[in-house]
Every structure is written in structure tokens, then in C-alpha cells.
Structure 1
Amino acid sequence: MLDRIEDAQYELELEKERAQVTLEGIADAVITSNENGFVLYMNAAAERLTGIRLSEAKIKTLNALFRLMAEDKTTPVDSHWLTDSYSALEEVILERADGNEFVIRKSASPLYDRDGNTFAIVTVLHDVTMLRTLSNQLSFQARHDQLTGLINRYEFDRKAQFAIDDAATENRVHCLAYFDLDQFKIVNDTCGHMAGDVLLKQLSNHIKAKVRSSDTLARLGGDEFALLLMGCDLIKAQEIIESLLQVIREYRFTYDDKVFKIGASVGLTEISPNSNLTLSELLSTVDAACYTAKEEGGNRIHIYRSNDADIKEHNNQLEWVSRIHTGLENKQFVLYIQRMESLTPNAELHCELLIRMQAMDGSYYPPGYFLPAAERYHLMPEIDRWVVKEALSIIARKGANFGYVCAINLSGQTLSEEGFLDFVIEQINHYGVDTSRICFEITETSVIANLNKARQFMQALRKIGCRFSLDDFGSGLSSFAYLKNLEVDFLKIDGMFVKAIANNKIDRAMVESINNVGHVMGLHTIAEFAENNEIIQILKEIGVDYAQGYGVAKPELFE
């Protein structure tokens, strides 16, 4: 009898020791507290996170160990959050007594005695500070221009749409201006693009210093800037723009003992409750006004008005819309295939299908020529329908011998179009294509702009076997929070991070981070802009699954 008791005690001590070793080896912080909030136990990770040893913590309650705050760093969070299993608040900031801050997530589980009464609560704290920092960095990069630090086109479009909505609902007037630098090409041609980058950084700082705090300055690309003036009519806006033009006129750029003087052509338009312009139309009018200012000699403002004959003439010169319609009718569009390289053994073959438009001389226009016009004038759904039908037709014709998974690009406009899902399913059924060979490629920004419809579209096609790839990840907006809520199979790392990984430690770190997050979430990763063997070798070392770029294969006709 005594032997059995001793054996049981030994087993109990052994089990206790096992549990202790396990808890001490866990990377997450584990804290046990009683029903009154007093600390009963902390593992080593909890001691490191809180900066307090267990011997000190045992005489304290949870709310005396550290301070909890919401993400705004001003709203306090009650320590009861630590033991509340049902709190909707996912993340808080933990501030230690020494001032160090950590972003944490938690899970809390009550412990019950034999009678079903709670006698303690185990709280597990997960430090997500690094993940949140990376997410914030990606979000910032998605919204800002890397060269100047100003907001980029995507973020500016979002703010401009807000101004349109605000004018309509609140009966307020705002203004929008486009700046196109004059003589900038001379600097680039004379001193090189590096000098042009220096000029853009310097000048954007000069302009930003003179812009009102209520207004938004953005770099749209190249030497184009935009300014959104909130609560400002045309008269006041013209005064502000004239003062900014004067700043630009007085600016002198010195490089390699050369001095340059530049100017700017500015298009200006009003966002009023009665304008009834969509975002696309608004941007088109102010862009046309800017073009007119440049045509009139530059270094001046041209204000758009609805009866502006010059701008109407300019808009009539936009021939690409007509060319696109003609191209669709006359079968001038073709598909190209760009094969990818698998960087892991025994992986399936992948490729991407790319659209081209045939010119009158038999050459082919790349998509950069006609897709911007198609996006602006809402022609993408028509183009995407042609691409889907043509791609499935060729894949079906090639049969089982064509063993590639084909990525087919879809635009944000198309994702939100009524009837497109039915069209895709109809075409798949018509051609009898193996759906496991179809991967629809959508951009991060287009998904965020049409999140609900994108989810419905993706769920319906995934049910019949199609797969999805999230393109340009890290360029658009988003944070990893969107990625968690999307059912995608492939994560395409944006080429702006990939092309410089051989020489830029930050870009390499970004690629490694995105690749790691993708793999943790069970996604295959694809790196764009794999332009040479050195980049491909680095991608292999990082563990990226596929490489795509001219270093792997150039696009060729798909027929």
C-alpha cells in the first residue's frame, strides 16, 4: 500500500516537473492569476516580457505589473482584459515600468475545481510587436511615394474620393490641382536620373513646407504632383497655387556645377456639390487642364470649366479608347505566355498570360500603352472577358500535354461587375478546362477596393477548383490583416522589392519577411522581376517557391 502511494507521489512529482519544463520552454508569456487578480505563476517568457521576476510579481495584482493601452496609445485598457476570454479587443499595447512598449495578443482560460468553480485563470500573451511593425511599414510604403515621402496615387485617389463624397453630402466646396514640372526632362537628360531624383526630393520639401495643414500633397509619378485643397473655392485655390508656383519659379537646382531653373504647368478644378463628376472624370478633367496649361506655354495655371473648348479638344485627342474598341472588334489583341521557374524540387509548372495589342505595322503594343486608358474609361471588364475566353480556348486546344498552371489577370473593375462570375463559369464549362490549371491573378489594391464582391467571386470559383494569386503584395495597401481574410493560394511579391535584393539589405529583408508570412499561412510565393541569375539564386536561398522575370523567360506568343 505504501509502495503504491510512493509510486503515485513519484509520478505526480514527475508530471509536475514535466509541466514546469514545458511552461518554461514556451516562447509565449504564461501568467496564472487567482480570481482576485493576484499573480500565482509566471514562466520565464512572462518575466522577460513584463520585466518583473515571479518572486516580485507574486505579491502584486495584474494591474500593478504594467499598463495596458489601446493602439492609439492614449486610451487605457483595464487589466481585466487579460483574464476576459470573450473580449472583442484583439491587440493592446503593454507598457512596462521601464517605459518599453510591446504589442500583445492574448488568450485566457479559466481553471475549475472539482465543483466547477473557477479558482484561477491562465493567460497566454503573444508578443506581436515585430509583426505589427512590419505590417505598419508595409502599410506606409503602400500609401507613400518612396522617393519623396509624399502620399502616392492610390492614397491620393482615396482622399479625392472622400472630397467628392464630402462635397455632395455636406454641401462643401474643395479644389484639386495637378502639377507637371516644366524643364524637368532637361535635368534628367543633362545630369542623369539620379540628379532628377534629387531635384524631386528637394522641390517636394519646398512645396510641402508651404502647403496648408488641411491640404494634401501627393506625388503621382515621374514629375507629376497633385494637391487637394479642402474647404477651398476656386478664387482662394488660385491664390494658393500662384504662391506655390512662385516657390517653384524661385527654386534653383544645382548639380555638378550646373544650375537649373524650372517651372510647372498646373491644372485646377473645383469639387462642388453640383459637379456630379466621378473620381475618374474628375481626374481626367484636371489632367486635361494641366495638359492645356503646358500647351499654352507652361509655368501657369489653367482652370477647368465645363465649357472649356481647349480641354474638350484635348479629350477628343485621346484615341486609345477608340483604338481599344476597334482592337476588340478586329481581333487585334493577342495573349503572350511568360513561364516561371520553380525554385523547389518536384513543383508544378506555372506561367502567366499577358495581353498585347497589334499595331498597324504588325508590331505589338505592351499593356502599358492601352490599359491605363482602359482603366480610366472603364473598359477593363470587356478586355478581361476577351482574355478569359481566349485563354480558356487555347488551353483547351492544347489539351493534357500542356501541363502549366496558367495565371490570368483580372482588374478591380471586373471583379465588381455584375454577371462576370457567371460568364467565367459558363466559359469553363463550355471549354471543359481542368480548373486546377486555372489561377486568377488579382492585385492587392483591387481586392481591398472591392473586398466583399472579391470574396464572393473567389469563393465561388474556388469551389469548382480554380486557384487565386494575390499580385503585387506589399505595393498596395494594405496590411497583413487583409491577407488573413482572403482565400488565396499564391502570394506574388512585388517586383519593387525583388529587383534590388542583391544590393539592398532592406529590400531583401522585406522579401524574406513577406515570404515567411506567406509560408506560415500555407501560401506558395512568387517573386516578380527575377531579371538575372544572381537574383534567382538569392530567391532560392530565401526559400521563395517561384521566380518570374526576364532572367527566367521572356514572354512569347501563346497560341
Structure 2
Amino acid sequence: MPQLLSDSAFADAGIPMAFVVPSAERGGLGEIQSANGAMAFFTGRSMEDLTGLAFAELVHRDDVALGEDQLARLSSGQVESCSFEKRFEHADGHRTWGLVTVAEGHDTGGSRQGTWVVQVHDISERKHFVGQLEYFADHDPLTSLFNQRRFRIDVDSQLAYGRRHGCGGAVLMLDLDNFKEVNDQYGHAAGDALIIAVATALSGNSRETDEVSRLGGDEFAVLLPESDLAEAESHAEKLLRAIAAVVVEGAGQGITVAASCGVAGFTTDDGQCADDLLINADLALYQAKESGRGCVKVYHTDSGLHEKVTARLMWSEQIREALDHDGFVLHAKPVIELQTDAIAFYELAIRLRSPGGILIPAAVFLYIAERFGMATDIDEWVTAQAINLLEHTKTKPPLALGINISSASLQGDRFLRFLQSHLAATSFPPELLIFELTEAVAMANLQRARQFGQGLAKLGCRLALDDFGAAFGSFYYLKHLPVDLLKIAGEYVRGLGTANDPADHLIIEAVVKLAKGLGTLVVAEFVGDRETRQELLAMGVTLGQGAFLGPSRDVHDIPALQP
């Protein structure tokens, strides 16, 4: 139906509006017959200037043709209205995004028969917000470099371009040597400053056509289009020298760092995808680390590294098969109340069942899972199993369950959305789920760890910090993380009763006192004998874990977890 407008409704409308003559040229919108005051304000022109002006003159030249198909359908009577987005050129030179809605219309007097009424909604703010979301999806928040997701996409694009145009290239993968020691000795802020300085050095010493990315933690990657292996190796050595020249201040002194680098090339006809190339570069990096660090190694198909590639691919296939067909086994290790022997909660641990029936611990296959993007899948599998156990166990109330979380699940909100959807249909208190982050994972990205902890808190779940005290900046993390439970690093517990006892004793007492002030529970790991247990009790530690207190068992063999 044509849209009827009285002259006053048109003139007084707060939405930019105009009567426009249809046109077979310049995007389908021809001469402006009349415009209201809101349109004049939106475009920065007077109503007199707008009258008789071609609508296309208001629009960015690249957007003039946008919406032509919809307008053709409107003109033929197939639709009654249509909408599309265009960029508008304001009279003062700036650009504004508008959502253009067009319908057949005339005024109540009928004097504008055959024209279209065009309304424009200012959507600049929404476009700006969407642009920010797109930026954060592709960029590392600390360094502003492209992140791993975007890097993989661009590597695949470069491989496709190379196949079409007959050119190759290379990927460099760089890892800082002994970076954890920097964080331990100088603190998280100094570590961040060093990461930023290294990112700047890599960008400043690369070509405009190269792409520098931060894959995560202290690992970087560089895409070198149209470079052969010799050029790539030379460039890698240049980048290592640039990193070695980086100096940042920490604790009143200069901090430097070295790096190792793996190089992998691609040609027009080798059939590689991004994962193949990154695996090869990663293997070369691994070889550089094994060769004493601080050097460059190049992947060659005849270097013997391809055997490791095959092995990793087999592992990845086995992990995927286990995810798809319930090939994992879940074990649980009790956390005991040291005073009474009562079980406070169980910590869950995943095992991979090999074709021969052997149960493989997570430490063996999690690195491969992370490299192939399956770590979050594993976290979700364990969490789903834990929720099922809590929902159906005959023990009332159920015992809490601890779940170890990988660094991959801190990226974005996928895991938290998964958790929220699975908790929606449950009846047990969410606080019975305790998600454990190692201090090293929290240290690698404190901001994301804090956001993850806040997300857990909103859902009613608890956060535990594992291996607490292993890093120099442990107390700093407590200031910024919403932690419900601290698990003292095992090295301090094992040190009780040895030559290190005085220092370990003082550290444990300090953690207990701190936790008490924060209202946080404390668990001592690796409790190995009765004497250690009694000493921990004397220091105020109430919860413990270790083979002496209770072994890890299959969840199906634990009565308290049975339906």
C-alpha cells in the first residue's frame, strides 16, 4: 500500500525523510522532490538545496548502487517496501551510516503521485559498535596484532592466492625463551611490557606485506608472502636479533629476552592448508628449542620431522575420535578434610583410552589437543560429564566436583555460554562446580582469566587457582581474580620435613593467613605421609590431596558418584 503523509506529518517528522522520483540510473533513486528538516540536518544541507538534487549526490560513490535490486522489485510491485544500508556524505565532509527504507507514497493531497518516500535512520553508532566487535574478534587485545584466529584465515587465503598466481611463501613461528622466569621474577606488568615491546620489534622489522600475529602467551607468528626458504630463514634471524635488542624496565633494571624460531615454507603445488603449515613451523620451533634455544630451524620434509607430523596427526585423529565416540574415561581424585578424613570434593581428571586399552593421562595428549583446536571441546566434555554426575548422583547433597580448564576456554565466551546453557536445566547448586585454572594459565592472560572468573561467579560456580605460589607474582593475581579456593603448589608441601622446611613452612603459613583474610579455602596438594598431614593441620591447612590421602579412581567405581 502507498504510504500517505500529510504535509505537517512529513515536515515535523523526527526521522530524515524525502520524496524522491524513481530513476533507472544512479542506484534507482533519482531527483529529490522535497525533503523535511530532519533530512536537512542529517545531510548538513538546507531543504532548498536538497530540492531538485539527485539522491545519489548524498551518498558515498561506492554505495550508490547498493539496493538497486530491491528498488527494482519495489518498482515492479513485487514488494511494498525495501531497506538497505548506505554511507552518506555530510556537507561538512564526514560520513554517516544510514538505514534507508523506501516505499511507494504520496501526500494526502495527491500532489506527489508516482514518487517514493525515503526514510533514513542514522545507524552510525551501531556500525561503530559492530566494527569494534569485529576488531576484537581479529586482534590480540594486548599488542593489537592479529590473533591466532585471523592469522589462520589469512594463511589459508595466502595459500589459495599462491595456487592461483604461482607464488609461494613461508610462515615463521617464534617463542620467547624462558619467558615464565620474567613473569616470576619481575611480575605480570613487566611481562606484558616485554610482550608489547617484542610485538613492536617484530612489526618494525617486517615488510608491509608481511603479517605479524600473536598466537597467545609468548608465541608469535609471521606470514611472509612470496619468500623462499633462504629469504625466510634470513628474515627470521633478523627478527631474533631485533628481539634480543629489546629492553624494558622492571624492578629498576633492564629486562631482555631471547627467542627461538621455526620456519616452514609453502609452494604453489604442495597441497598444504593452514594447519599443515603451522604444524610444520611448530615442529621446526620445537627443534630450535631442543637445539639450545635462541636459534632458527627450518622444516624440511627429509629432516625426519615429518615423522613427528604423522605422529601428531594420528594423535589428533585419536582425540577427535574419542570426542565423537566417548573414547575418554573420567577419573576422580578426592580432596580430604585433614581433620576428619571426610571427602570435601573430587577433582576430575580425563584419560584417553588407547586402542590397546591403556589409559593415557591428559598431560600426554593435551598439548596436541591445544594445537589442533580441541582443548575447549575436551573441557566441555568433562564439564558435561560433571554436570550429569551431579544431577543424577544418589548422594544428597552431591559432592562438589573440580574441573581443570585449559587456556583455550578463556578465549572468547564460548565455554561460558556452553556452561550457562547446560546449567539451565539442572537442579543442583552451581557452586558444586569448581573450575580450576593453573597459575601459569592465569598469568599468561590475566585480563581474560579475570573475565572468566567473573563469568563463573555470575553463574554461581566457583574458581580455584591451582599451583598457587609457583610464580613470583602470585599475590598480584589474587588482587585481580575472584578466587574461591587456592591450591598450594606441591613443591612447598613436598618440602616439609626436608632441608627446605623453614622456607616452605613460612610460605604455607603466609598463604593460609592470606586465604583466611580473603575468605578463601586452601588445599595442600601432594600430601605424602602422616607427618606432612599433621604439620599442615598445625599450620591451619584444612584440606589436602595426594596418593596418601586417596588415589585417583574411575568415577564409575566411586559409590558417592553413582546414580
What is the CA distance between 1:111 and its match in structure 2?
2.6
What is the CA distance between 1:376 and its match in structure 2?
4.9
Task: Tell me how far apart the structure 2 counterparts of residues 124 and 369 of structure 1 sit (CA, whole Å).
Answer: 62
Partner of 1:333: 330
What is the CA distance between 1:188 and its match in structure 2?
1.2
Secondary structure of 1:530's partner? helix
Residues 16-415 of structure 1 aligned to structure 2 (within 5 Å): 20=8, 24=12, 26=14, 28-33=15-20, 37-42=31-36, 44-54=37-47, 56-57=48-49, 59-63=51-55, 67-69=58-60, 75=62, 77=64, 84=71, 86=73, 90-111=84-105, 118-309=113-304, 312=307, 324=319, 332-333=329-330, 357-358=350-351, 373-374=368-369, 376=371
Task: Tell me how far apart the structure 2 counterparts of residues 383 and 358 of structure 1 sit (CA, whole Å).
Answer: 11
Secondary structure of 1:266's partner? strand
The higher radius of gyration belongs to 2
- The answer to whether the 8 Å contact 1:265/1:298 transfers is yes
What is the CA distance between 1:178 and its match in structure 2?
0.4
Matched to 1:24, the amino acid is D
Structure 2: where are the runs of 5+ without partners?
23-29, 75-81, 333-346, 354-358, 395-412, 417-424, 426-445, 464-481, 486-554, 556-560
Secondary structure of 2:45's partner? coil
What is the CA distance between 1:126 and its match in structure 2?
1.4
Output one character per residue of 1:405-459: Cα deviation in whole Å (capped at 9) or x when no partner.
xxxxxxxxxxxxxxxxxxxxxxxxxxxxxxxxxxxx9789xxxxxxxxxxxxxxx
Task: Tell me how far apart the structure 2 counterparts of residues 96 and 329 of structure 1 sit (CA, whole Å).
Answer: 60
Q: Relative to structure 2, which stretch is displaced further, 180-189 or 198-207? A: 180-189
What is the CA distance between 1:143 and its match in structure 2?
0.6
Secondary structure of 1:280's partner? helix
Output one character per residue of 1:114-146: Cα deviation in whole Å (capped at 9) or x when no partner.
999943321011111111111111111111111
Task: Tell me how far apart the structure 2 counterparts of residues 197 and 154 of structure 1 sit (CA, whole Å).
Answer: 21
Partner of 2:491: none
Secondary structure of 1:288's partner? helix
Task: Tell me how far apart the structure 1 counterparts of residues 263 and 95 of structure 2 sit (CA, whole Å).
Answer: 46
From 436, 454, 470, the counterpart of 1:530: 454
Residues 415-494 of structure 1 aligned to structure 2 (within 5 Å): none
Output one character per residue of 1:158-182: Cα deviation in whole Å (capped at 9) or x when no partner.
1111233334443322111100112
What is the CA distance between 1:301 and its match in structure 2?
0.5
Q: Cα distance 1:212–1:164, how it changes in 2: closer, same or farther (>3 A)?
A: same
- The answer to whether the 8 Å contact 2:351/2:361 transfers is no
Task: Tell me how far apart the structure 1 counterparts of residues 322 and 67 of structure 2 sit (CA, whole Å).
Answer: 66
What is the CA distance between 1:85 and its match in structure 2?
6.2
What is the CA distance between 1:201 and its match in structure 2?
0.9
User: RMSD of aligned C-alpha atoms?
Assistant: 5.2
Task: Tell me how far apart the structure 1 counterparts of residues 11 and 53 of structure 2 sit (CA, whole Å).
Answer: 21
- The answer to whether the 8 Å contact 2:102/2:117 transfers is yes
Q: Cα distance 1:365–1:121, how it changes in 2: closer, same or farther (>3 A)?
A: farther
Task: Tell me how far apart the structure 1 counterparts of residues 252 and 387 of structure 2 sit (CA, whole Å).
Answer: 59
Output one character per residue of 1:37-74: Cα deviation in whole Å (capped at 9) or x when no partner.
243241x43233122343x346442449x53115xxxx
Matched to 1:68, the amino acid is V
Q: Cα distance 1:245–1:396, how it changes in 2: closer, same or farther (>3 A)?
A: closer
- The answer to whether the 8 Å contact 1:90/1:105 transfers is yes
- The answer to whether the 8 Å contact 1:29/1:49 transfers is yes
- The answer to whether the 8 Å contact 2:182/2:191 transfers is yes
- The answer to whether the 8 Å contact 1:82/1:123 transfers is no
- The answer to whether the 8 Å contact 1:530/1:547 transfers is no
Structure 1: where are the runs of 5+ without partners?
1-14, 336-353, 400-440, 445-465, 467-494, 501-527, 537-545
- The answer to whether the 8 Å contact 2:83/2:100 transfers is no
Q: Cα distance 1:307–1:123, how it changes in 2: closer, same or farther (>3 A)?
A: same
What is the CA distance between 1:273 and its match in structure 2?
3.1
Secondary structure of 1:131's partner? helix
Matched to 1:61, the amino acid is L
* Identity, % of aligned positions: 23
Task: Tell me how far apart the structure 1 counterparts of residues 225 and 83 of structure 2 sit (CA, whole Å).
Answer: 34
Q: Cα distance 1:530–1:20, how it changes in 2: closer, same or farther (>3 A)?
A: farther
- The answer to whether the 8 Å contact 2:279/2:309 transfers is no
- The answer to whether the 8 Å contact 1:63/1:79 transfers is no
Partner of 1:8: none
Task: Tell me how far apart the structure 1 counterparts of residues 51 and 249 of structure 2 sit (CA, whole Å).
Answer: 67
Q: Cα distance 1:33–1:162, how it changes in 2: closer, same or farther (>3 A)?
A: closer
- The answer to whether the 8 Å contact 1:267/1:304 transfers is yes
Secondary structure of 2:120's partner? strand
Q: Relative to structure 2, which stretch is displaced further, 254-263 or 101-110? A: 254-263
Q: Cα distance 1:549–1:157, how it changes in 2: closer, same or farther (>3 A)?
A: farther
Task: Tell me how far apart the structure 1 counterparts of residues 247 and 280 of structure 2 sit (CA, whole Å).
Answer: 31
Partner of 2:474: none
What is the CA distance between 1:379 and its match in structure 2?
7.5
What is the CA distance between 1:230 and its match in structure 2?
0.5
Output one character per residue of 1:299-324: Cα deviation in whole Å (capped at 9) or x when no partner.
11011111223674698599965985
- The answer to whether the 8 Å contact 1:91/1:104 transfers is yes
TM-score, normalized by length of structure 2? 0.56
- The answer to whether the 8 Å contact 2:138/2:149 transfers is yes
Task: Tell me how far apart the structure 1 counterparts of residues 326 and 448 of structure 2 sit (CA, whole Å).
Answer: 39
- The answer to whether the 8 Å contact 1:33/1:122 transfers is yes
Q: Cα distance 1:392–1:301, how it changes in 2: closer, same or farther (>3 A)?
A: closer
- The answer to whether the 8 Å contact 1:253/1:260 transfers is yes
TM-score, normalized by length of structure 1? 0.56
- The answer to whether the 8 Å contact 2:5/2:106 transfers is no
- In the comparison of the two structures, how many residue pairs are matched? 391
Secondary structure of 2:96's partner? strand
Matched to 1:215, the amino acid is D
Matched to 2:175, the amino acid is D
